[in-house]
Each structure stands twice: as C-alpha cells, then as structure tokens.
C-alpha cells in the first residue's frame, strides 16, 4: 500500500509515467511516500517546535485560509505571525507538489485547513471518536464534505530524529462490507435540523451521514481495532506523504511535530470516480447519496 517516489524537490520534476502511476496508486487507497522531501523551518520558526503552544482542548493548531486565523493555540501572541508564515509556506509547498505529481487535479482542488501537530500522539487521552490512534476513515462531524474527497499531505518535521508511526487497515470496500449493515439510515429532516442548530456548518448529506457512521463504528469496535488486517508504517523526519484519508483506513499511533495540509476534490475531478467512497457507498446501498 506504499508507493514510493524518490524526488527530493517539491516541484519535481516527475515524468508522465510517474504522474500516471501516482494517481492510480492514490485513488486505489495507497500512500504516496516521499522519504527525502523535507520542509525546513526558517530560523525564527524553530521556536514553534514546542508542545506548549497547543491548547489542551485541541488536537492540533490549525489555520483557516479563508479567515486567515490560527486556532488551537495558547500562550504568547507574539508567535502567531510565525505560525501564519509557516502555514502559508507549507501550503504553498504542498500546492506545488500536487501540481507536479498530480497535474490532472489542479483545476479541481480546493485548499482546506493547514494543521500542526506538536504534541506526542502516544498516551494522549481523548474520547474514542477523537482518538486518532484507532483505525478509521476521515469524516468531519461539523463540516460535511458533501461527497468531496479528502486529500491530505503530511510532513514529519520532528527535530529529534523521531519517526511518525501509522497503521494502515483493510481496504475501504471491506470496511463497508463489515460496518455498513449496522449503520442506521439518517432520520428524516435531521440534516436540516443539524444545520439550523449550527451543529454543522453546511447541510449533512446522506453520504456525510454514512461516512461518519463508518468512522464512529470503526473507532468504537475494540475487537476490530485489534484483529483487523493492518500494517505499521514509519515516516522518518523530513519525509512527506500523501493519502486520501476518507478512503484509506489509517491510525496515527506515535509521533510528535507534523504538518498537514488538507485539500478537497470533487469526485468528478478524479481519474477513476468509481473508486471514490461516495460511489462505493452508493453501489452498496443501491441509492444516490447526494
């Protein structure tokens, strides 16, 4: 499930064959892995290599490109400009990388949040739904994606030569086969009510309902977490990886100091739309979900 590329520059270049192989691997649920693609901090940004800036109630420090606000931060306000600068540079680098390796996506990609994860994952206490050390596919309770793909770029910027460890689980169709029969249908009118009460930022579609049900049921099933097909991966410092986190069952089990950039892609922007979670769920349910 790992597709390795040895390029050391964010801008490539990549051959057409490398581009075609990359999009095929990615859309099948594989991880595009760049073992030597670093994101180097500026000298005034190294102060950010501390967990002390992360608010205890937040999983990470985030940056919204629309509001241009940093969230999840506590402490010294004077470091906020450094966070903004780091987030902007990282977002720019990821955009350059995606243009180079996945040119077909360029006119469809929508930039989402940038996040920084300075706190050690292992041993962190949270509810099971927020526990990313459990195998899951991504779904956002308050921010429905309405069928769009969730494409994420990660980079380990750990300064202490410590890797970031993940587990990859079974293919998405197997997840659907296992959990979908136990997922209740959305209650009539519930999507409208959730938006009306501002529990969700936009209307939760039937697709959002089912993908969130899968996310929650995967995390809640202790036996599944222990017995599901899975493999462990190690991402060393200054390595970068790209994955569709709504398709690839994954868990981040250990590591500290990582950057992540989210992008959204409409299903029609894919090379093989039939591989999207939306299409897989629609086929399994025998109905349209948008």
| pLDDT value for 128 | 85
β strands within the chain, DSSP E? 2-4, 31-34, 61-64, 69-71, 110-117, 149-156, 164-168, 231-235, 240-244, 250-254, 258-265
Give 167-176 pLDDT, tens digit per residue.
999 999 999 9
CATH number 2.60.120 given to 2-285: yes
Please compute the mean of the pLDDT values over residues 232-237 and round it to a whole number. 97
Give 175-184 pLDDT, tens digit per residue.
999 999 999 9
- Does residue 255 register a pLDDT over 80? yes
- Does residue 75 register a pLDDT over 80? no
- Does residue 109 register a pLDDT over 80? yes
- Does residue 76 register a pLDDT over 80? no
| pLDDT value for 57 | 80
Please compute the mean of the pLDDT values over residues 10-19 and round it to a whole number. 96
Please compute the mean of the pLDDT values over residues 109-129 and round it to a whole number. 91
What is the domain partition of the chain in residue ranges? 2-285
- Does residue 185 register a pLDDT over 90? yes
How far is it, in rounded angstroms, from Cα 129 to Cα 220? 7
pLDDT band at residue 129 using 50, 70 and 90 as cut-offs = confident
| pLDDT value for 165 | 98
Give 43-67 pLDDT, tens digit per residue.
999 999 999 999 888 879 999 988 8
- Does residue 74 register a pLDDT over 90? no
| pLDDT value for 151 | 98
| pLDDT value for 82 | 93
How far is it, in rounded angstroms, from Cα 278 to Cα 49? 38
CB 254 within 8 A of CB 175: no
**In terms of DSSP H, where are the helices of 110-205?**
172-179, 190-196
How far is it, in rounded angstroms, from Cα 161 to Cα 186? 46
């Amino acid at each position: 499930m790992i597709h390795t590329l040895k390029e050391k520059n964010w801008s490539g270049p990549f051959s057409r064959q490398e581009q075609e192989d990359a999009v095929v691997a990615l859309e099948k649920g594989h991880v595009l892995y760049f073992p030597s693609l670093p994101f180097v901090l500026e000298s005034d940004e190294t102060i950010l290599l501390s967990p002390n800036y992360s608010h205890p109630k937040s999983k990470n420090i985030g940056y919204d490109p629309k509001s241009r606000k940093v969230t999840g931060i506590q402490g010294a306000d004077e470091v906020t400009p450094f966070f903004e600068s780091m987030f902007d540079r990282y977002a720019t680098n990821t955009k350059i990388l995606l243009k180079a390796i996945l040119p077909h996506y360029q006119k469809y990609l929508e930039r989402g949040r940038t996040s920084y994860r300075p706190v050690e994952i292992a041993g962190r206490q949270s509810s099971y739904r927020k526990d990313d050390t459990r195998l899951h596919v991504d779904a956002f309770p308050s921010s429905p994606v309405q069928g769009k793909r969730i494409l994420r770029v990660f980079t380990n910027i750990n300064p202490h030569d410590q890797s970031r460890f993940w587990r990859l689980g079974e293919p998405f169709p197997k997840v659907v086969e296992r959990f979908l029969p136990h997922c209740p249908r959305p209650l009539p009118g519930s999507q409208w009510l959730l938006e009306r009460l501002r529990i969700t930022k936009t209307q939760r579609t039937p697709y959002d309902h089912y993908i969130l049900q899968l996310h929650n049921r995967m995390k809640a099933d202790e036996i599944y977490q222990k017995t599901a097909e899975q493999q462990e991966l190690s991402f060393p410092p200054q390595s970068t990886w790209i994955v569709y986190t709504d398709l690839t069952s994954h868990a981040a089990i250990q590591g500290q100091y990582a950057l992540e950039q989210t992008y959204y892609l409409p299903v029609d922007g894919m090379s093989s739309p039939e591989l999207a979670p939306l299409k897989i769920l629609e086929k399994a349910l025998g109905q349209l979900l948008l």
